[in-house]
Amino acid sequence: MVAKIFLGNAFVRLLDIILHPKTNFGRGVDSSLLYIYNMIRFLFVALLLLSVNSFATFVAVLETAADGNAKDSVSFLDRQYLTNVLREQAVKELPAEQNFTIMTRENINAMLPPGKAIEDCEGSCLAETGRNIAADYVCQARVGRFGKSLTLSAELYETAGSKLVTSFNGRGNDVEELLKLIEEKSPAFFHKVKVVTGVASETSLSAQLEESVSPSSSDSGSSNVALGESIPANVNDVSSKKGFHWVPISISAAAVVAGTVLAVIGNNKAKDAYDKGGNSVSQLDKNKSDAQSGQTMRSVGIGIAIAGAVGVGISFAF
């Protein structure tokens, strides 16, 4: 995702260098070309932002709640620390490198509707809260009592369909044992998000691909794949798709650059023809023809640049 943002920003800067009136080889562009350029730039940035958001998966870890007299046994600060540890485990299991974003406490509080009390929210209400804060997945732990023991239950919901994805329960004699419970069970708890989103399968296929093509450690040089064992049929497809994904981006980027350069050349040609004027009818006709030719070149360049910008945006999104 970071690479896509960097590449997209580079293309926008390139458009600025080529078409901006102050940097266009010391010459300005007319208002129509500048208007079309601004449309291209806006469209490209909008597609880039949409593609970035489509790749990011937002996960919210809400504050740990307490039921009944468990509030007296587990203080607010202790519950807050349990939330911090649960959020920390989410960051470890769902890293940003795999396009996951773990929302901070400040983000969540700022986006909550006024008067919303998370402590009174359970089940599908958690999913609704997740939608209110624009999270794809939302989880919360709750502390309670069972006999003389403290209990801890955690649930993870997919906000779009209000579906319970996974949960875990446990108990302990004190808050320290509840902390150990979180540290023990939360990795598998958050790993379920990878399974649902397909990240886990992609990682597994990549690992199988690397293993299948790595040289054997034996002296005979035999393959790592045992006799009769087959590699999943879609492993090679995944590899080829990842490599092929950048081909349309490169082609579209080249179209953007070529189109904008062609538009600038055509614009300058038309402007030169209009500025020349002429002392005879034949000269005027020639300059008029050159101006029309420049305008046609400019229009074609603008069309190519727009098509290229749309292609880059679509390539980012898919």
Q: Indicate if the pLDDT at residue 128 is higher than 80.
A: yes
Same domain, 20 and 133: no
pLDDT, tens digit, 9 for 90 and up, residues 178-214 = 999 999 999 999 999 999 888 765 555 555 545 554 4
pLDDT for residue 106: 87
Same domain, 95 and 192: yes
Residue 175 resides in a domain: yes
The range of the structural domain enclosing residue 171 comes to 57-199
Same domain, 34 and 123: no
Residue 231 resides in a domain: no
Same domain, 42 and 88: no
Residue 205 resides in a domain: no
Residue 304 resides in a domain: yes
Same domain, 68 and 49: no
Same domain, 74 and 47: no
Long-range contacts of 72-79 (CB under 8 A, 24+ apart): 73/143, 73/145, 73/150, 73/175, 74/143, 74/150, 74/175, 74/178, 78/175, 79/143
Same domain, 44 and 80: no
Residue 232 resides in a domain: no
Same domain, 43 and 74: no
CATH for 62: 3.40.50.10070
Mean pLDDT confidence for 102-116: 81
Q: Indicate if the pLDDT at residue 139 is higher than 70.
A: yes
Same domain, 150 and 109: yes
pLDDT category at 244 given cuts 50, 70, 90 is very low
Among 140, 175, 199, residue at a domain's last position: 199
Among 136, 171, 199, residue at a domain's last position: 199
pLDDT, tens digit, 9 for 90 and up, residues 54-77 = 567 899 999 999 988 888 899 999
Residue 280 resides in a domain: yes
Residue 207 resides in a domain: no
pLDDT for residue 61: 94
Q: How far apart are CA 156 and CA 191, in angstroms?
A: 11
Q: Indicate if the pLDDT at residue 78 is higher than 80.
A: yes
Segment among 132-136, 155-159, 284-288 with least mean pLDDT: 284-288
The DSSP output letter for 118 is G
The answer to whether 315 touches 47, Cβ cutoff 8 Å, is no
Long-range contacts of 247-254 (CB under 8 A, 24+ apart): 248/311, 248/314, 248/315, 249/7, 249/311, 249/312, 249/315, 249/316, 251/311, 252/307, 252/308, 252/309, 252/310, 252/311, 252/312, 252/314, 252/315, 253/11, 253/308, 253/312, 254/308
Same domain, 177 and 284: no
Residue 211 resides in a domain: no
Same domain, 71 and 157: yes
pLDDT for residue 191: 94
Q: Indicate if the pLDDT at residue 226 is higher than 70.
A: no
Same domain, 265 and 296: yes
- The residue that leads in pLDDT, 279 or 166, is 166
Average pLDDT of the residues of the chain: 74
Query: Looking at the 3D structure of the chain, how many domains does it have?
Result: 2
Among 171, 199, 227, residue at a domain's last position: 199
The gap from C-alpha 123 to its chain's centroid, in whole angstroms, comes to 28
Residue 253 corresponds to which tokens in the numbers above?
A: 């980027």
